[in-house]
Amino acid sequence: MQSFCVKLVAAASLFTSFASAGFQKDSRNNVAVYWGQNFASGSQQRLSSYCGSSKLDIIPIAFLTSLTDPTINLANAGNNCTTFPGSQLMNCPQLEEDIKTCQSKHGKTVMLSIGGETYQEGGFPSASAAKAAAQTVWDLFGPNTKTANRPFGSAVVDGFDFDFESKTQNMVPFAQHLRELMDASSKKSKTPYYLSAAPQCPFPDVADGEMLAGEVAFDFIMVQFYNNYCGVQNFVAQGGRQGGGSARRQQAAFNFAAWDAWASGKTLDGSRGSKNPDVKILLGVPASKSAASIGFVEAELLRPIVDFCASNFKSFGGVMMWDMSHLFSAGGGSGSPVVGSFLEEVHGALSLASSTLLKGTHRVNDVNATASATRQQQPGQGSSDAAKNNSSSINDSANGGGGSAPLSSASTSYYLSSVAVSWPGLVLGVLVHYSLGSILS
Ligand SMILES: *[C@@H]1O[C@H](CO)[C@@H](O)[C@H](O)[C@H]1NC(C)=O
Ligand SMILES: *[C@@H]1O[C@H](CO)[C@@H](O)[C@H](O)[C@H]1NC(C)=O
Ligand SMILES: *[C@@H]1O[C@H](CO)[C@@H](O)[C@H](O)[C@H]1NC(C)=O
Ligand SMILES: *[C@@H]1O[C@H](CO)[C@@H](O)[C@H](O)[C@H]1NC(C)=O
Ligand SMILES: *[C@@H]1O[C@H](CO)[C@@H](O)[C@H](O)[C@H]1NC(C)=O
């Protein structure tokens, strides 16, 4: 059964938001944003300039673009790197410093994402070549910090993400060996290392499909619900609360249900699903209109989608956004001039979805305190208006124009995994930890 454990934690000030604790497997509010590709052309800043945001948990660095001759590409951030003599491998002391800052000062989970659109190697000629490459990747970016020519020096990434966009071979032995190395190290050092993948939404995914078919244990996957028919742009709102029976969980196009079935270990057509039955699925969305060819939805339209996923799917674990440069581009985001506001709104949507869920099962007494704290963070944004609340389809509301009402404007902001509540005048935070299966210590 479900269990609660409530912790009281003194906070530094009224508006202190809690530092992110990185990826949390029992949380449904994880927020991941890719950094490295400067997809918005020009605006990408150094990694550490984003880590101060408490609304970010996971930052996959994009990308390690070659595995046979390890190569990283970081767009304009690469200009702040040199190369190791006699090698094309980049040497990035600034990033070394920033990864450590983001991890230790801000609690971020910093991963290295392998692949990307420019990855063209198609995998490995043999299983043994794949295993050797896994060892190389582990030596270059994992905890074996004495290895020569480490692009991020003594910084150690928290894990690896696979974002292959074209078909590969022998990726299963590569991923399995990397997982073995990670798990062996985790066991010894008690440091968790994570493996994730970013398949496109059509199920099964062409590029990552073999690994996902019960072969490799992933901690979480970040499905790209954009650039495809099955993306969030084709979510159809059903009015009212987004819960309900299996008929409601199924959408004609938007296919989180197929991925949730995968997560349970058995796909909708009965084939093998996730190897890890506790795998989490993050809803991947573009961070701005121009971050994907199709699939961007305004923040206010994302709220019912997040609510739908959070209330219907056990595997739902939060939201992924592509990419950081778009998220923090003025005028990018949700058509809002406020830099980073789309992130605030996504975070608010996750909080709201969790709160509604929580209230459905357990009463929590501090509603008023939270409501007032939320209102103060969002001046001028009072109660939500009924029409916005009730958007019957993406198209209807999108046509209504680019408003950006904060998703957190409704009355509460509880998180399923953690809650920050502020009372005006009182300097106190409350963390409510809620775990679905096991009791958190
Ligand atoms: C490059 O380094 C400069 C100077 O420290 C910094 O201001 C800038 O944000 C860095 N750019 C990237 C993309 O990392
Ligand atoms: C919330 O505030 C209202 C009015 O200020 C009050 O009537 C109500 O009892 C409060 N609810 C809780 C749970 O404290
Ligand atoms: C909007 O939706 C929220 C969450 O489902 C609900 O609590 C609220 O009453 C709705 N507001 C209106 C005006 O319908
Ligand atoms: C909500 O949507 C339904 C279906 O489109 C519509 O009939 C109803 O009038 C809407 N309500 C509000 C308050 O906009
Ligand atoms: C949205 O509008 C487009 C173009 O008008 C149309 O092709 C599409 O079917 C609409 N989608 C929904 C979900 O109504």
From the candidates 97, 117, 165, 215, give the one annotated as an active-site residue. Answer: 165
Of 5-19, 115-129, 309-323, 384-398, minimum mean pLDDT range: 384-398
**Within a domain: 398:** yes
Q: Report CA(76)–ligand 1 centroid distance (Å).
A: 9
Of all protein residues, whose CA lies closest to atom 10 belonging to ligand 2?
368
| Total domains present in the chain | 1
Ligand 5: distance of its center to the CA of 233 in Å? 9
Q: SS3 letters for the chain?
A: CCEEEEEEECCCCCCCCCCCCCCCCCCCCEEEECECCCCCCCCCCCHHHCCCCCCCCEEEEEEEEECCCCEECCHHHHHHCEECCCCCCEECHHHHHHHHHHHHHCCCEEEEEEEECCCCCCECCCHHHHHHHHHHHHHHHCCCCCCCCCCCCCCCCCEEEEEECCCCECHHHHHHHHHHHHHHHHHHHCCCCEEEECCECCCCCCCCHHHHCCCCCCCEEEEECCCCCCCHHHCCCCCCCCCCCHHHHCCCCCCHHHHHHHHCCECCCCCECCCCCCCEEEEEEECCHHHCCCCCCCHHHHHHHHHHHHHHCCCEEEEEEECHHHHCCCCCCCCCCCCCHHHHHHHHHHHHHHHHHHHHHCCCCCHHHHHHHHHHHCCCCCCCCHHHHCCCCHHHHHHCCCCCCCHHHCCCCCCCCCCCCCCCCCCCEEEEEEECCCCCC
**What is the CA(154)–ligand 1 centre distance, in A?**
19
Range 318-333 average pLDDT: 83
pLDDT at 341: 85
Distance 332 CA to ligand 4 centre (A): 30
Does the pLDDT of residue 203 top 80, yes or no? yes
Residues with CB under 6 A from ligand 4: 239, 386-387, 390, 392
Instruction: Spell out which residues line ligand 1, taking CB within 6 angstroms.
Output: 44-46, 76-77, 80, 94
- Kindly state whether residue 425 falls inside one of the protein's structural domains: no
Task: Check if 96 is active-site.
Answer: no
Residue 290 in domain: yes
* Residue 88 is assigned to a structural domain of this protein: yes
The rounded mean pLDDT for the chain is 78
Residue 371 has pLDDT above 50, yes or no: no
Ligand nearest to the CA of 389: 3
- Identify the pLDDT of residue 235: 95
**Considering the domain boundaries, does residue 47 fall inside one?**
yes
Residue 222 has pLDDT above 80, yes or no: yes
Is 382 near ligand 3, meaning CB less than 6 Å away? no
Residue numbers of the domain that contains 89: 25-406
Q: How many angstroms separate the alpha carbon of residue 420 from the centre of ligand 2?
A: 19
Q: What is the pLDDT of residue 358?
A: 58
Instruction: Supply the CATH number for residue 266's domain.
Output: 3.20.20.80
**Residue to substitute in 230, 395, 397 for testing ligand 5 pocket (most ligand atoms within 8 angstroms of CB):** 395
pLDDT, position 247: 54
Q: Which residue has the higher pLDDT, 10 or 243?
A: 243
In a domain, 2, yes or no: no
**Shortest-distance ligand to the CA of residue 407:** 3
Task: Kindly state whether residue 16 falls inside one of the protein's structural domains.
Answer: no
Q: Tell me if 19 is assigned to some domain.
A: no
Mean pLDDT within 46-71 = 95
**pTM for the whole thing?**
0.71
